[in-house]
Amino acid sequence: MTSLPDTSAFPHDAQARDGLFDAHAQARSIRREELRDRLSLFALSLPALLLVGALVFLPVGWLFGLSFVSEGQFTFLHYQRLLEPAYRNIFAQTFQISFLVTALALLLGYPLSYLLSQMPQRAAAILMIFVMLPFWTSILVRTYAWMVLLQRRGLINGWLIDLGLIDTPLRLVNNYTGTVIGMLHVMLPFMVLPLVSSLRAVDVSLMRAASNLGAGPVKAFWTVFFPLSLPGVIAGSLLVFVLCLGFYVTPALLGGGKVIMVSMKIQQNAAMYFDWGAASALGVVLLGITVALFWLLGRVTRIERVFGGL
């Protein structure tokens, strides 16, 4: 005899279907609320986005279009000119100075940042004031101060001669050396601030754990602490390098016309030769290099991990 199915399961299945339907309806309601919130946020942000577009993207677009115009005609002449030896030397010098200043800023800024990250909060805040002090002074004033310090009859050469360390004044200004010193003074805080934030986020107990496992102080630092601080190192180095690429005031004054960077050539083309097309082409190339650096950084590491903790 064939047994009849247990009908007690049917109400249960209907109840499950009703519960599943309610869950789908609730999920759709949540998605609609999220979409409504995003649209509201976009509507609130629209004036700011329009302002950014008007102040940033429109000028950049105008600059890009102007770089292809010469005497009212479309041309690649301005970009072809960048392949000449004179322009290649300017780009090479710009990158050399930017790399050197970035490396020196990291070399000087990392120990200082490590000290600030390990000190008590109150003492670190007091010392951080001295790090931030250059921001409170005009960059033009700082550059002229370095000119006074570094010139042949300046304070530094005077002290060195009085101490008997040198017989003739050193050439510290109107050359490569003075430019690097002045730029390093300006760029150092931009390296220290991201580094301090990154180093404070490192768990010091990991160093003690490495020591308990037999690692010496040097090995524990290079195998544990330094890799964890790499996001701050990358962020600070990238920030300093990008700012150095567009630096103008300090190289123009401390370089004495013997150090020509891309930003100075842009100013010459626009103000002296009234060649806005050539100046625009240099600006577009410099912007492209900056974007390419961020793209390469994104390929090597997660860029949100680099800047997310700062």
| Residue 241: predicted pLDDT | 92
| pLDDT on residue 20 | 60
| Confidence band, pLDDT 50/70/90 cuts, at residue 18 | low
Long-range contacts of 264-272 (CB under 8 A, 24+ apart): 265/87, 265/90
pLDDT, residue 16, reads 57
Instruction: Report the b/e string of 12-48 with b at 16+ CB within 10 A.
Output: eeeeeeeeeeeeeeeeeeeeeeeeeeeeeeeeeeeee
SS3 73: strand
Q: How does 235-253 read in b/e, with b if 16+ C-beta sit within 10 Å? A: bbbbbbbbbbbbbebbbbb
Enumerate domains of the chain plus CATH numbers.
74-308 (1.10.3720.10)
What percentage of the chain has pLDDT greater than the value 70? 89
Span 211-244, pLDDT tens digits:
778 878 888 888 888 888 888 898 899 889 989 9
Query: What pLDDT digit, counting tens, does each position of 158-187 carry?
Result: 888 888 888 888 888 888 899 999 999 999
How much of the chain is helix, strand and coil, in % rounded to 5? 80, 0, 20
Closest CA to 275 of 81, 145, 144: 81
pTM: 0.79
**pLDDT per position as a tens digit, 87-118:** 999 999 999 999 999 999 999 999 999 999 88
Task: Supply the pLDDT for residue 211.
Answer: 79
pLDDT at residue 19, rounded to an integer: 60
Give one DSSP letter per residue of 23-72, joined into a string. HHHHHHHHHHHHHHHHHHHHHHHHHHHHHHIIIIIHHHHHHHHHTTEETT
Chain-wide mean pLDDT for the chain?
A: 83
Using the predicted structure, report yes or no on whether residue 259 has a pLDDT greater than 60.
yes
Indicate the burial class of 285 (C-beta count within 10 angstroms; 0-12, 13-18, 19 or more). Answer: middle
104: which 2 tokens? 């020196």
